[in-house]
């Protein structure tokens, strides 16, 4: 029987997630997405944890995007598991252009093709994340005219999210420097100026926070996890939401579902 929806979920598994794989796979089994995009897949080179993810959702295709090594030697890989065929998947990890890696891929979408970008932007600074954003936009220059999707932990803040008036003061008190002082929103503005639309705000979500943090007694709630879509895909969005991971990670996930009917 032909499917009539496509569901996508993105999740940062937190430093490889080895000791939490039961929680991660249980979450994915409950959600049953068609496409899973995971960040911080440290130590996944042998394929075992990606196979566990695939089994949890009955995925047929998987791909591990191998990230460049950071100064620490760690490689923050990006993983994909899909219940629909991966028509292709290629990894971009040039240190001159990206912080970790960008996985460019394609899957069937009704009678056409959806072009995807799975990624994990640099956590260090907004200037370095802007390099990531510009690289994605350069890769998507053609595909974004059709059905295209960008998903991952972008480590960047959206000006559309309801940060409190004292947010900048909280960042200073918590000695959190990654977003700048005052907080910067250049990355998300750059993506939106290109034409990407944030699925979460397109559907008026009840919840928006994907990272609850407490730094020295200072609470800081943020969202750095996104599913963006091209203008042509946006009308097919049915819903988007934040998924509570209940300890499977220090991030909540973001899920989006799209209609496969009347696709032209």
Domains and CATH numbers, the chain: 5-259 (3.60.10.10)
Contact 115, 103 (CB under 8 A): no
d(CA 227, CA 249): 18
Which residues make beta-bridge pairs with 110? none
Q: What are the two backbone dihedrals, phi and then psi, of residue 215, each rounded to the nearest 5 degrees?
A: -110, 105
Cis previous bond, 182, omega within 30 = yes
Per-residue pLDDT tens listing for the chain (264 residues): 457 999 999 999 999 999 999 999 999 999 999 999 999 999 999 999 999 999 999 999 999 999 999 889 899 999 999 999 999 999 999 999 999 999 999 999 998 999 999 999 999 999 999 999 999 999 998 877 899 999 999 999 999 999 999 999 999 999 999 999 999 999 999 999 999 999 999 987 789 999 999 888 899 999 999 999 999 999 999 999 999 999 999 999 999 999 999 887
* Contact between residue 58 and residue 29 where contact means Cβ atoms under 8 Å apart: no
Helix 186-194 to helix 126-140 angle (10° resolution) is: 10
Distance CA 157, CA 191 (A): 12
Is the overall model pTM greater than 0.75, yes or no?
Answer: yes
- Per the rule left: phi > 0, alpha: psi between -120 and 50, beta: everything else, 257 is beta
What are the percentages of helix, strand and coil residues in the chain, rounded to 5? 25, 35, 45
**For residue 186, which of 226, 122, 127 has the smallest C-alpha distance?**
127
Cα(263)–Cα(183) distance, integer angstroms: 39
Please say whether the beta carbons of 21 and 52 come within 8 A. yes
């Amino acid at each position: 029987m032909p499917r009539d929806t496509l569901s996508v979920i993105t999740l940062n598994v937190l430093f490889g997630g080895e000791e939490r794989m039961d929680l991660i796979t249980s979450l994915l089994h409950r959600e049953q997405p068609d496409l899973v995009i995971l960040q911080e897949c440290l130590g996944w080179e042998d394929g075992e944890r990606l196979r566990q993810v695939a089994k949890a959702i009955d995925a047929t295709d998987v791909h591990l995007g191998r990230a460049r090594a950071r100064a620490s030697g760690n490689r923050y890989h990006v993983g994909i598991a899909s219940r629909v065929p991966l028509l292709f998947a290629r990894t971009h990890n040039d240190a001159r252009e990206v912080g970790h890696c960008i996985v460019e891929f394609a899957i069937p979408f009704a009678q056409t093709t959806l072009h995807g970008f799975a990624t994990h932007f640099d956590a260090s600074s907004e200037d370095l994340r802007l390099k990531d954003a510009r690289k994605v936009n350069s890769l998507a220059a053609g595909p974004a005219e059709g059905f295209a999707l960008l998903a991952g932990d972008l480590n960047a803040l959206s000006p559309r999210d309801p940060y409190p008036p004292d947010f900048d003061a909280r960042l200073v008190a918590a000695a959190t420097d990654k977003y700048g002082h005052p907080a910067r929103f250049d990355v998300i503005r750059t993506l939106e100026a290109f034409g990407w639309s944030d699925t979460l705000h397109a559907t008026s979500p009840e919840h928006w926070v994907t990272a609850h943090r407490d730094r020295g007694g200072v609470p800081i709630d943020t969202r750095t996890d996104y599913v963006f879509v091209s203008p042509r895909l946006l009308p097919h969005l049915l819903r988007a939401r934040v998924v509570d991971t209940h300890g499977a990670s220090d991030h909540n996930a973001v899920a989006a579902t799209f209609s496969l009917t009347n696709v032209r």
